[in-house]
Amino acid sequence: MNSPLLAAVDPAVQPPTAARIPHPTQLHGQTLDDDYFWLREKESAEVRAYLEAENDYTDTVLAPTKGLQETLYREMLSHIKETDTSVPYRDGDWYYFTHTIEGSQYAIHCRRRAAADRSYDATAPEEVLLDVNKLAEGKPFMALGALSVSPDGNLLAYTTDETGFRQYTLHVKDLRTGEVLPDTAERVGSLVWTPDAKMILYTVEDEQTKRQDRVLRHTLGAAADTDVFVFEEKDERFNVGVGRSRDRKFLFLEVGSHTTSEYRFVDAMTPTAEFQLLAERVADQEYYPDHRDGLFYIRVNDTGKNFRVVTAPVATPDREHWTELFAENKEIPLDDFEVFQHFAVASEIVQGLDRMRVFRFDGDTLSKDFATVAFPEPSYSAGLHVNRNFDATTLRYSYQSLVTPASVYEYDVATGISTLLKQQEVPGGFDREHYASERVWATASDGVRVPVSLVYRRDAFKKDGTNPLYVYGYGSYGYALPVGFGTSRLSLLDRGIVMAYAHIRGGGDLGDAWHDDGKMMVKRNTFTDFIAATEHLIAEKYGAKDKVIIEGGSAGGLLMGAVVNLRPDLFRVVLSHVPFVDVMNTMLDATLPLTVAEYEEWGNPNEPEAFTYMRSYSPYDNLQPGAYPATLVKTSLNDSQVMYWEPAKFVAKLRTLKTNADTPLLLHTNMDAGHGGASGRYDYLREIAMDYAFILVELGLA
C-alpha cells in the first residue's frame, strides 16, 4: 500500500544505512548474528551520527505533518485544565496537594495546616514544598523520584533525576527556612524517615546493573561517607526497598524478585536496632505485611496464586505461627489488602474488573460481613487513593473509565456512602455522552477467553467494519492494563477511530495466574492473544481489516515486534515506543540493568531449552524479508530499562529486509530523555501529536 507520507518526500531522500559489522555469538551449538552490535557504543561519534541521521530522516518524512501536529497539539491542550489543583489529602497535621500552572511544565507541591478538628482549612496559609519548575530551569529533563516529609513536618527528603536514566540524587530541604541542606546521597531508590526526624534509611543501587541492593542509614548533618551500612542483598534477582507500616510503629525492609518476597522489620522507635526477619523467603511465594495492634496482617500466595490473608504475632511472626484470616478464593484474585484501625479493605479482581470490599473491626476482631464499593460501567479502573491516616473513618479511592474522567471519591465506612471529591475537568467541549465503551471477549488460539475494552465516539462509529481500529497491548510482568481516561485520545476518537485495549496473558488483568500463562516458556501466548483479539474485533466489525493501528511500549514494544513478525499482513500502522526487541543479546548480557532479575520473566537463555524458546519469538532475531506495516519506532538515548540500541538495531536490520519501499520505517531518538520520554507535560503532548499525525496521514484521515 502506497504511503501518503512517502509520496510527499523527494525520491532523492533516502533513509540512513547503518554499517554492518559481523558480531557472531556461539551458544548451545547455534549462532546469533548481530551485525549492528557496534551501535551499543553510546559515546561513539559514529553512533551519535547514525542516530542523528535517523532523526533527520524522520523529520524530513514528517515535515508535511507539522501543521497537523500543531493542530493536534492545540486540540489536546484545549482538553486540559492547565491551571488546576489536586484533591488535598491529610497526612498528620497537614493537607498536601499539587498545583499545575498554565505555561509551566511541572507540578508545584504544596501543603496547608489542618484545622483543629483535622478538617481541610482553605484559609490556612499555603506553603510551597517544592516547585519542580524551578528545579528544571536550564535542564532538558527533570523527574522526581521519592518525596517524603519528615514526621515532625519540618523537613522534606526528595530525589531527582536530570537525565532520564533513572539515577536519583537525594536532597533534604528545611521547610522552615527553605534551605536545601548539605545532606545528600547518590543512586538512591526508596527512603523512609525515623520518627524523630533525625535519620533517613535509604536504598542504593549497584553502579552497573542499577539493582537496588543495599540499605544505608543517614544521620542528618553527618557527612555522607559516615552513613551506616544496614543490609545488602547478594542475590542478583532481588531488589531491596524500605518503608513503614501504616500505623508507623514499624519500619520495613523488603527484599523482592519477580516471584518471591521477604520482609524484615524493626520497631520504629529503635531504628538503629537490627532488622528482624518476619518470615524466610520461599521460592515462588510472595507475602506483604502490615501491622495493627500487635498483629501482622499478611497477604500471601502460599496456598495458590490468588492469595489469602493470615495474621501473626509480632513476637513470633514466622510461618509456624500464622493464623488464617481469609482463605484463598480460587476464582477471585486478592490484589491487595489494606489495614486501618477501624476497618480493612480487600481489593479483588473479578473477571478482570476491580472490586473493593470493606470489613469493619470490632475491637480486635475483623467482621466477616462486608460492604462492597460498587462501580457502574462495563469497563473501568478503580483502586485506593492516598490514605495516610491509620485512624481514618473514611476511605479515599480513585475511579475512571474510558469515558469517565479520573475521579476521587471518599467512602464513609459507617454509612457506606461515597462522595465525589473531584473529577478531572475536561474543557474544550467534551461531553461524555458522545462516547461509548464496551467490554468484549475474544477467544485465543487455545480456547482461552481474553477481555478487550473498547471506546468510540457514538456518532462516528458504525459497526460495519469501516472504522479505523486502534489496538493497544502490553502483556508482561503481571501488569494489569489500566482502563483509564485520556484527554489526548479524544483527537483520535473524534476522527472516527475505534480504540481497543487488549488485556492479554502475561499481564495481571485476571490475577497472577494470568501473568504466569504469558511468561517464560509460554510467552508466545501473549502474542497469539493479541492477534486473536485483533481478529475478533475485525470479525465483529468494530474496525476495518485494512485500517488497523497497533501500539505498545517497552515490553509492549516486544509485543509489537513479535506480532508484526507473525502477522505483518494484519496491521496497517505500528507505533513502537522504547521497544524491548533484542531479547537474546540483552538477556545474555548479565552486566545490563534488569537482565538477571528478569530471568524469572523471560527465562535464562544460558539454558538450552530457554534459549531455543526465547529465540523463537525475539523480534530482532526473527525479522524476515517481506512487506512490513508503516512503522514509527521511538526511543530515548538515556533509557536505562531498554537501551536505545535495541530499537536502533531493530530498525537498521529491518531496513535491509523490508521489501515494500513505499511504506515508511522511521526511528526517532529523544536525545535528552529516558524510558518515559519527555518529562515536561507540554513536551510530552508534542510527542503524542507526532504519533497521531503519523497515524492519521498514513490512514488518509488528515
- Would you please indicate which residues are annotated as catalytic (active-site) residues? 554, 639, 675
CA-to-CA distance for 104 and 475, rounded, in angstroms?
34
> Cell numbers of 500, please?
481497543
Tell me the three state secondary structure of residue 38: helix
- Read off the DSSP letter of residue 224: G
Bridge-based pairing state of the strands 169-174 and 365-373:
unpaired
CA distances from 490 to 486, 517, 555, 694 (A): 7, 34, 25, 16
Q: 235, 261 in Cβ contact below 8 A?
A: no
Q: In terms of Cα–Cα distance, which of 634, 630, 632 is closest to 642?
A: 634
CA-to-CA distance for 615 and 605, rounded, in angstroms?
9
Buried b (16+ CB within 10 A) or exposed e, 29-47: eeebebbbbbbbeeeeeeb
Largest interatomic CA distance in the chain: 79
Dihedrals phi, psi of 188, to nearest 5 degrees: -90, 140
Residues 6+ apart with CB under 8 A from 585: 25, 32, 34, 37, 620
Q: In terms of Cα–Cα distance, which of 133, 188, 128 is closest to 156?
A: 128
Q: 630, 698 in Cβ contact below 8 A?
A: yes
Amino acid at the residue 322: W
CA-to-CA distance for 72 and 97, rounded, in angstroms?
30
CA-to-CA distance for 145 and 170, rounded, in angstroms?
9
Report the half-sphere exposure of 669 (CA within 13 A, side-chain side): 25
Report the half-sphere exposure of 339 (CA within 13 A, side-chain side): 26
Q: 61, 666 in Cβ contact below 8 A?
A: yes
CA distances from 607 to 108, 199, 558 (A): 50, 45, 21
First to last CA, the chain: 17
Amino acid at the residue 436: A
CA-to-CA distance for 395 and 382, rounded, in angstroms?
13
Beta bridge partners of 215: 203, 231
**DSSP calls for 572-618:** SEEEEES----HHHHHT-TTSTTTGGGHHHH--TTSHHHHHHHHTT-
In sequence order, what E strands does 34-102 have? Answer: 84-85, 89-91, 94-100
CA-to-CA distance for 624 and 561, rounded, in angstroms?
12
Residues 6+ apart with CB under 8 A from 284: 259, 260
CA distances from 236 to 211, 279, 523, 598 (A): 8, 20, 23, 10
User: Distance between alpha carbon 256 and the CA centroid of its chain, in Å?
Assistant: 18
Give the chain's radius of gyration (CA, Å).
26
Beta bridge partners of 469: 498, 548
Residue 179 CB neighbour total at 10 angstroms:
10
User: Distance between alpha carbon 207 and the CA centroid of its chain, in Å?
Assistant: 23
CA-to-CA distance for 564 and 566, rounded, in angstroms?
5
Beta bridge partners of 241: 254
